[in-house]
Structure 1
Amino acid sequence: MAALGVAATFVWFGMVLAISFLEAPLKFRAPGVTLPIGLAIGRLVFRALNVAELVLGAAVLAAVGTAAEYDTVATIASLGALGALAGQLAVVRPRLHRRTARVLAGNTDGPRSRPHLEYVALEVVKAIALLVAGIALLTA
């Protein structure tokens, strides 16, 4: 079960890095990708990412919860990553969804999205928490 926890944590960490910090910003640099097209792609990609994160988060939680040796750092870091994900899904994503819907409807005026910055901040917290949890699980 410990190996499952390590694997799930690092797969989750890799997915966050690859999608949130590589794919998301780079898609807007591709020729012909407009803001509405990029946002529509982002909706699909992040919906799939969030489903995968929930599955991986459940696996990490199960591994940490059934570990023979209780590792406080791994548990706290794992809960931190899950808390960041919960904040993204319950608080930030609904606001991002409303803003994206407005842009997709043709309303591209207005300031940059503050919820977007909040989502990115939670991604940074989640990535750090996953790295710490993975290292703690690996060394336990």
Structure 2
Amino acid sequence: MSNPVPTALAVAGAASWLWLGMVLAISFLEAPLKFRAPGVDLRTGLAIGRLVFRALNTAEVVLALVIALSLATAQPGGTPVAAGAAAIVLLALQLVAVRPRLSRRTAAVLAGEGGPRAKAHLWYVALELLKVIALLLLGIAVLL
């Protein structure tokens, strides 16, 4: 019989699956679908998105801290550490490099200003896809 997963590693795994589920549900379901709902125009959708993503990002930071502390405690090395670090770095890039640009664009649209769609949105989605892969790898790695 194999050794049980250390508690800290189990916490990192649980946090990774929770984080993954939140990202998939919000970024890839809620975000695009809200714009298809009857009566939801761009301004309303962006106002809702601003609130939802602020809450998601706050939860992500908490889960990133839980994962970092859990992995530091468990010291598993290899794939779990690399995948956890990748997810955390990708979140940091989203929050520091991309999110401010999206926030400026959202504020402009909400103020009634026009303009082309933000290219930063494509960067956010690309980083989100990479983060999904990192979280999936982390979740699987702690189970093995």
TM-score by length of 1: 0.95
Q: How does 1:61-100 map to 2 (within 5 A)?
A: 61-67=68-74, 70-100=76-106
Identity of paired residues, percent?
60
RMSD between superposed Cα atoms in Å: 0.9
The aligned counterpart of 2:3 is none
Structure 2 residues not aligned, in runs of 5+: 1-7
User: In structure 1, what is the equivalent of residue 19 of structure 2?
Assistant: 12
Amino acid in structure 1 at the alignment position of 2:132:
A
In structure 2, the residue matched to 1:40 is: 47
Aligned residues between the structures? 137
Cα distance per residue 1:68-104 (max 9 Å; x no partner) = 5x23111011111111100010010100011001100
Report the equivalent of 1:22: 29
Q: Which consecutive unaligned segments of at least 5 residues does structure 1 have?
A: none
Q: Deviations over 1:49-84 (max 9, x none)?
A: 00000111111111111115x231110111111111
Q: Is the 8 A contact 1:9 1:134 kept in 2?
A: yes
**Of 101, 107, 123, which aligns to 1:118?**
123
Match of 1:135 in 2: 140
Cα distance in 1, alignment partners of residues 9 and 121 from structure 2: 35
Distance 1:85 1:5 in 2: 16
SS at match of 1:29: coil
SS in 1 for 2:74: coil
In structure 2, how many angstroms separate the alpha carbons of the residues matched to 1:84 and 1:2?
Answer: 21
Runs of 4+ in structure 1 displaced over 2 angstroms? none
What is the CA–CA distance in structure 1 between the aligned matches of 2:126 and 2:120, rounded to whole Å? 10
Give the match for residue 110 of structure 2.
104
Distance 2:39 2:141 in 1: 43
